[in-house]
Chain A
Amino acid sequence: MNSIVKHWAAVTVIALSVGCQSKSQPSADSVAAAATLDKGGSGAKPSASGAQYFPLQSYRVGPYAAGGTGFFGGFIDYMQLVNLRDGGVNGVKLTWSECETEYEVERGVECYERLKKGLDGAPPAAFNPLSVGIAYALIDRATVDKNPIITINHGRTDSTDGRVFPYIFPLQLNPYSEVSAITNYIGQREGGLDKLAGKKIVALYHGSPYGKETIPVLDILAKKYGFEIHHIEVPHPGNEQQSQWLEIRRIQPSWVILRGWGVMNPVAIKSAAKIGFPVDHLIGNIWSNSEEDVAPAGAAGKGYLSITTHPAGRDFPVLKDIDKYVLSAGKGNMQDPKRVGSVYYNLGVINGILNVEAVRTAQAKFGKKPLTGQEVRWGFENLNIDDARLKELGAFGLLQQIKLSCEDHEGGGRIRFQQWDGEKWVVVSDWISADRALLRPIIEQSAAKYATEKGIKIRDCAAEAAGTAPAP
């Protein structure tokens, strides 16, 4: 008798759980209700109606959690600042909700599908997945659904060409620009780009699509400036790099460019020290440039160079404001307050600034109300932040000038170099630009290939600006 009851109970539970699923899906009401119960951790959010919604496909657990918690923490803190200090964007408050992806593509897709309807009537402005894999999976859907996907400092390089990818924005820096700017810096350190001829450079890359993205451009640059480039792959996840670094020692390059991710970074730095390669000739790219990447390497990391689109540190007016209005009020998102001002945190703040400025730009055209994704897209495409505006935002020196257009969804392409002194990052160079004129034809060619493959009609930017063609 007992076992019968148990078996029935089990089946009923399963049936109910499957059935209940239909009731608990796009549960905007329940999430909003929970939002108003919010305390501490994510701060008090305003009620959703009449607000602009930012869905957050965040990752706070798993192998890349350190980056995710920093980035999304900074993003949320900035949005909190806009709400508390300015009362929202022209009176329209910002609201958000998080959906954990653990950096996995199908979870990112599920989060997108779940959140794209908005939050209790607040329409989504843009999606910021901070993941190349998820961004790729969303390209088609987002274009059909008319939601912008922001891939700051990363993403699909050819999505820089907005004529083929109207809804994808690799803001500030795409992978090609990274590599080109690094080459320019190396040239600078060697005394001029012409001095690069005959030198040996190794590109140590992560064995994944992200890692391989820049191989063709490095080959082109090598041919142009006459240096010898060796590409060495580190299989994911990069726990063991012994043989790769022995190979590097055999090649005896002058510089090693590290295109790493996650655990590969500290292991690379340690392995470099192990075989005696000077760590101050190891240059990390944009995803090998955080405190979390170099700290586990301990003493070996001192002198390690990396690129950055923004300095670390809390010494900027906007960060001081976050301190004053958000952190002191106990509404900060970071569990460890020491991480405020770290590279990832500041990237999140910058991402917040760019998203909010895009909304503001769009509001100037479409009205001071919650905007749809299509309208925010226009805002991104016409984003123009110059030095004067940067000073107003309190981000001068933190964020570079950025100007997007229909053809150019990147807008920046400039980096600075920082060096690890054992405790923190110190900026050691001025702004260095990528050779965008060299890269543009390659990008356009790749985008055109994608357009033919998918049957996409390339936008006519001039016609759209004149009003003779409809906006996407």
Chain B
Amino acid sequence: MFYREAGVYGPSYAFDLRILRLREDRVALGALLVLAFAVVPFVGTDYWFSAVLVPFLVLALAGIGLNLLTGYAGQLSIGSAAFMAVGAFASYNLTLRIPGLPLLASFALGGVFAALTGVVFGLPSLRIKGFYLCVSTLAAQFFVEWTFTKFSWFSNDNASGVITAPPLVILGHDFGTPSGRYVLTLSIVAVLTLIAKNLVRSRVGRSFMAIRDMDTAAAVIGIPIFRTKLLAFATSSFYCGVAGALWAFAYLGTVEPHGFDLNRSFQILFIIIIGGMGSIAGAFLGAAFIVLLPLLMDNVATAFFAGVIDPGNLENVQKIVFGGLIIFFLIKEPDGLVRLFLIARQKVRLWPLSN
């Protein structure tokens, strides 16, 4: 009843190739974007911008990056935080050493540097397959962390190796306020999401999925395996690099190499597994879960249990609940939250009938 599926005929190929075929879906997405761009910046509080929305968006972007590599192309990677670090430090150094470089250009170039690093550490993917491939990205993880800690050139010879982000100014407009950072991050993430969505629907995306499903067969039908794998590494690392630059510039305002350690890589891997591998929307759902759930638990715990349980134990309980929920989700819905969402949407489409 809410959806009009019947009678939707496309008068042209362009109509049929749209990302969202049904008008209802487009209206819903449009409403969401209007809400995000036009309503939230005026209604939200500092806390929501600085501590919830911006990390959610940045982690979703990193999740999209990792999804391109692991979810769509099937190459397991546990080093996504290293590529984020490369993006962050590269953007910082470019902004610092090239006066007058526009902020967006430095983000993009930071992403390019991250992409190059990704290609270098993706080279072993020709020989190594499956689970063993994670050693390459793990090596990237530790090597990149070491490089940025060791060579103080990267952090402008700051004795402690921590960089502080330069002011966020685009075309004279200062985005340094919490709502400004939110709008900046949202715009960049929205544009990159659109690009990613189109990428996975294109020939390139289909070749990624062919390699994931069975790369020997893909080679047989003529997909250039090595080039495609490297392209997957490159695009994935580009996204992670931009996410890293946003993390440093728009979220924390500072970066130390340990902020991009193995735990961050695992966090992003959690995001795509919980959100749903092989799905762009899944990255957003997973990031929402990872960012919001601990905050929700913390707030519930402080509100109801602060007097009864000692704060340290409260934290341990939260850890147990978090781990338990991850296992629960993996048992109940291995395809991730996006599957739940799609099932729900399907129910709404068919309502009041059922399948």
Contacts and interface: CB of A to CB of B under 8 A. Distances in A.
B259 A105 contact: yes
Contacts of B93: none
B222 interface: no
A24 B303 contact: yes
B149 interface: yes
B60 to A, nearest CB: 14
Interface in A109-136: 109-110, 113-114, 117, 132-133, 136
A297 interface: no
Nearest to B247: A106
A98 B314 CA distance: 11
Q: Is the interface of B mostly helix, strand, loop or mixed?
A: helix
A60 interface: yes
A296 interface: no
B292 A455 contact: no
A114 B47 contact: yes
Interface in A2-25: 4, 7-8, 10-11, 14, 17-18, 20-22, 24-25
Q: Is the interface of A mostly helix, strand, loop or mixed?
A: helix
A27 B307 contact: no
Interface string A34-70: 1101110110000000000000001011000100010
Contacts of B307: 34-35, 37-39, 41-42
B160 A213 contact: yes
Contacts of A132: 160
Interface in B154-182: 156, 159-162, 164, 166-167
A20 B296 contact: yes
Residue among B156, B307, B314, B333 with the highest chain A CB neighbour number at 10 A: B307
A139 B163 CA distance: 12
Chain B interface residue bracket vs A: 35 or more
Interface in A436-453: 446, 450, 453
A470 interface: no
B293 interface: yes
A98 B315 CA distance: 11
Residue among A102, A114, A214, A233 with the highest chain B CB neighbour number at 10 A: A114
Interface of A: 4, 7-8, 10-11, 14, 17-18, 20-22, 24-27, 30-31, 33-35, 37-39, 41-42, 58, 60-61, 65, 69, 97-100, 102, 105-106, 109-110, 113-114, 117, 132-133, 136-137, 139-141, 156-157, 207-210, 212-216, 233, 235-236, 335, 446, 450, 453-455
Interface of B: 45-48, 50-52, 55, 146, 149-150, 152, 156, 159-162, 164, 166-167, 251-254, 256-259, 288-289, 292-293, 295-296, 298-300, 302-312, 314-316, 319, 332-333, 337, 340-341, 343-344, 347, 354
27 contacts: A4-B354, A7-B344, A7-B347, A11-B344, A20-B296, A24-B296, A24-B299, A24-B300, A24-B303, A25-B299, A31-B303, A33-B303, A42-B307, A42-B311, A60-B311, A100-B298, A105-B259, A106-B259, A113-B47, A114-B47, A114-B51, A117-B47, A133-B256, A141-B253, A157-B160, A207-B149, A450-B164
The 5 closest A-B pairs by CB, nearest first: A60-B312, A209-B160, A30-B303, A37-B307, A34-B306
